Amino acid sequence: MEQPAPGSTDHSRTRDAPTITPYPECDDSILGRTGGTPIVEYDGHRPGRTYCKLEYENPTGSMKDRVALGMISKMRADGEIDGEGPVIEASSGNTGGAVALVCARLGLDCQITFPAGTSGQKSGYMEAYGATTTACPDVASDHEDYYAREAQRIADETGGTFLNQYENELNPQVHYEWTGEEVVQQLDGDLTHIVSPMGTGGTLSGIARRVKEEYPEVQVVGVDGEKSNIWTAFHGEDPVEYDVAVEGLGKAERLPTMWFDSIDDVRTVADEAAFERARSEARNGFLIGPSSAAALEIADDYSDDPESVVLTMVCDNGDQYFDVINGD
């Protein structure tokens, strides 16, 4: 894919989010800063309009704060989390830090498992907020030492509650109730496409379902890694060996948190294209994570149409990815 000139974001053309507080824990002075992220216009030097929803303005710098807060709130309300045992999560990225923050604010014990290859910046978030962490071998999901299996073992042994972002449909449900509602109110129908990276798929699935209830003509596009199996599952192709270097992008298999019935297409971006786009955006003052950069790569294709209005989800910023952004 030819690398475009980097764009720019214009904060003078910002669509502020409505104040939506769907969970009682939002009354907390820190947790209450979750959500309400702005949408800003992005100048990608294309005929159409592109907007970016800046999810990096959440407390730990990613949209995973919404999932952590929403899932824990719902599971507390249902009695699944009672404060007697720890809250446990498996995370290879931003979710671990988000869960650790929520637990710290609510006085809950927290344990996080993660693959040994997880960056020190991300595991540092978990530990800084007081979570007990377990680094697990980088093995396939069917291996007994896989980090999600270890999380389930800890839950069984401690009587704790495993959130399980990969299989728990509260993940997309939170985005349906919260992020999707924000998008509906912010853009008020002025929208032709939504483009978002897919990892668990929860963000895009929840937003897509809510937006399509109001505006069924909006085209929803997921962005996957080139050697990943979200694309193959969506298009009915044979699975490939998973090998994606972009954190937060792609999965080895389809997950229950991926609501394909609300998604119109899934497209792929190569690792190096995502990294190079993140670098070019950073040089222009827009510091975003590589998965969000991959989404901008795909958004460009739709904004070639002068009638298009494309919303791109910027899931996190680039301050945890300096190794790839600086080309180390």
Domain boundaries, the chain: 14-62+169-326, 64-162
Alpha-carbon Rg for the chain in angstroms: 19
Residue 12 has pLDDT above 50, yes or no: no
Helix 170-177 × helix 179-187 angle, to 10°: 30
The 3-state secondary structure of 141-207 reads CCCCCCHHHHHHHHHHHHCCEECCCCCCCHHHHHHHHCHHHHHHHHHCCCCCEEEEECCCCHHHHHH
- CA-CA-CA-CA torsion for 302, 307, 313, 314, nearest 10 degrees? 90
Give the tens place of pLDDT for each residue, 31-53.
Answer: 999 999 999 999 888 999 999 99
Look at the chain and count its residues: 328
Give the tens place of pLDDT for each residue, 136-157.
Answer: 998 988 899 999 999 999 999 9
Q: Mean of the per-residue pLDDT values for the chain?
A: 93
> Distance (Å, rounded) from C-alpha 299 to C-alpha 251?
21
The CATH number of 14-62+169-326 is 3.40.50.1100
Q: CATH number for 64-162: choose from 3.40.640.10, 3.40.50.1100, 3.30.2130.10, 3.40.80.10.
A: 3.40.50.1100
For residue 78, the one-letter residue type is D
